[in-house]
Amino acid sequence: MEIDYKKGLTYGLINAGIYLAFPIILISILSALNILQFGSSFLIFLIIFGTIRVFIAFIKNIYPKDSLSHNLIGVCAAIYSGLYLFYIFGGFSINQAFGNYYVESENLSALFGLQFIAWLMFLAAILNAIYYSLRCIDLHKYNLLRKIFQRGGIILYLILAVFLVSIIVSGLNLSFPVKENYTYAWDTGTYPLDPNDDRIDITVYFDVRNLGLYSVKDITLNGEIFTVNTSDSSQLLLPDNQKIGDITDVHYNEFPSFTITLNANITIGIIPEWVPGLIMHDAVLKLKISLSFTYAGIHVDLNTSILTTWSSLT
C-alpha cells in the first residue's frame, strides 16, 4: 500500500483553511466590528477541535482512497466533523453554554440559540459516517446503498447551506422598532386630590416588520420603564436612574411572514411608589422591551430600548 504524504499534506492544508483559518478570520472580523462577541473558552476549544480535524484529514489522505485504512479513518473523520459542527452551533448546550451568539448595538442586543441547526449538521455527518462504514465492510458491495448515504449527506449539507442563507436574508428583513410616542391612562383613585392612591399605566407601541420567509412564533414580551433624569430636585419622589414600572410575560402567538404589524403594544403599570412623582415631575424615560421568540427553528432573545420624555400631569 503506497503512502502519499504529499496528498495528505494537501488535504491537511485544505482542512486547515476550512476548520481553522476561515472561522478565526470570520470571528476576528465580527468581533472587530462589534457585531458578535465570542468568549475566550469558545475560541480555545475551536482551535483545539480544528487542529485535531486537520491532523485527521492528513492521516486519512496519505492512504489510497480504496484502502481499508482510508475508510476507517473516514468514519472517524465524519463523526468528528459532526461533533465539531455540533459544538460550533451549540448542540452540547443545555443551559445556554455554547451555540448562543450575541449581537449588540447601542439600543439593541440579541441572543441567538442555534441548537436546532447543530442537530441537522450532526445528522448529515452521521450519514457520511455510514457511507464510509459501508465501504469498510466490503469495497465492492453495497454500491447502491453507499451512494444513497453519500448523496444523502451531500444533499443535507446543501439544504443546510441554503437554509442558513435564507435565515440570514430573512433576518435582515425582520425588525421590531419601538416608537417614541406612547399613551397613558391615569386613574385618580378614590381620592382625586391625593396622588398616593392613583394609578398610571403607560402603553408602549412597536411595529413588527417581518418581510422574510419565516414566521415569528411563540413571542413573549417583557417591558420596563426607567427614569434617566427628572425635574425632582429632591430626588425623593422621582429619582434619576430608577426603575419605575414593569410587566412580564405578555404573549403573542405569531407574527406571520411577509407582513407588517403596526402598533403592537404592551401596557406597563407604574409601581405605586413612583406614581406621585410622575404626576408632579417631568422626566426623560427609557422604555425597554425584551422579546423571546422562535424564528425558523432558532430561539432568539432580543432587547431593545428607546428614550422618550414625560410631562408632569399637574
Place of cell 422621582: 238
Strand runs (DSSP E) across 176-235, as ranges?
A: 178-187, 199-210, 216-230
Q: Where are the chain's structural domains?
A: 5-171, 175-310
In this prediction the pTM is 0.62
Q: Give the mean model confidence (pLDDT) for residues 187-215.
A: 83
For residue 149, pLDDT over 80 is answered with no
Model pLDDT for residues 257-279, shown as the tens digit of each residue: 999 999 888 899 999 999 999 99
C-alpha of 158 from chain center: 22
Model pLDDT for residues 217-258, shown as the tens digit of each residue: 889 999 999 999 999 998 889 999 999 999 988 998 889 999
Model pLDDT for residues 22-61, shown as the tens digit of each residue: 888 877 876 776 656 666 777 787 888 889 989 998 998 8
Beta bridge mates, 285: 227, 308
Percent of the chain at pLDDT above 70? 84
Instruction: Say which CATH class 175-310 falls into.
Output: mainly beta
Distance CA 239, CA 163 (A): 49
